[in-house]
Amino acid sequence: MGLTRRSQFDGSSDTLKVARPRPARQLKQDRQASAGAGLAHTGTVPYFMPMTRTRWPLVLVLLSAACSPARRNGPQNVPEDEARHRAALTQLTVFNHTDQRLTIAFRAATPPAQEVVLGAITAGARALLAPIPGGEPIILFARKPDGSELALAPRSYPADGEWTWDIPQTAVFRPS
């Protein structure tokens, strides 16, 4: 069976061949045979198999593994044990008898070295500042606006207590 078509432009003719339809039984056998190849036997259009029950669990496992957070083996920003276990606090009161505004801070005497600013106090004032860690050695210091510091020797302060630092007018501040 064939159809003839004539071209309007050059007068040539070509014959088109029409394929006979296959019986349904033959199509089913062709699809089963070509299922492993992923292409249907009827032409070049890809035929994608429907998702089978055995593939769904695999897809779900791969999807959940792709979306789960990966464990990082690199260093994390977790402080060392000394920095994590600071629970006991001491209330700090400061008398500033100098003629300048001071910034009060402390550094840990043991690693990791961290500087924590507790607050500022104006000249000639008394202030209750943020609490300091009690029961472990720290270095308290006062800093002038020009950067010079007055530092106390490392010491432990009473846990859950109060401590008063009286900074005299004659205190010697050293460049840091």
Contact by Cβ (8 Å): 111, 84 = no
Q: What is the pLDDT of residue 79?
A: 55
Q: What is the pLDDT of residue 45?
A: 46
| 168 SS3 class | coil
Q: What is the pLDDT of residue 94?
A: 95
Q: Report d(CA 18, CA 47) in Å as an integer.
A: 22
Q: What is the pLDDT of residue 161?
A: 86
Per-residue pLDDT in tens (0 to 9) along the chain, 176 residues: 455 555 555 555 555 555 566 565 665 666 555 555 554 455 554 555 555 566 667 777 777 777 766 655 555 555 555 555 546 788 999 999 999 999 999 998 888 778 899 999 999 999 999 899 888 889 999 999 999 999 999 999 888 889 899 999 999 999 97
List the domains of the chain with CATH numbers.
16-48 (no CATH), 86-167 (2.60.40.2890)
E strand residue ranges, 29-121: 89-96, 102-108, 115-121
Report how many helices (DSSP H) and strands (DSSP E) the chain contains, helices first. 3, 10
Query: Distance of CA 159 to CAs 59, 91, 106, 154, Å?
Result: 57, 9, 16, 15
Query: What pTM value is reported for the model?
Result: 0.51
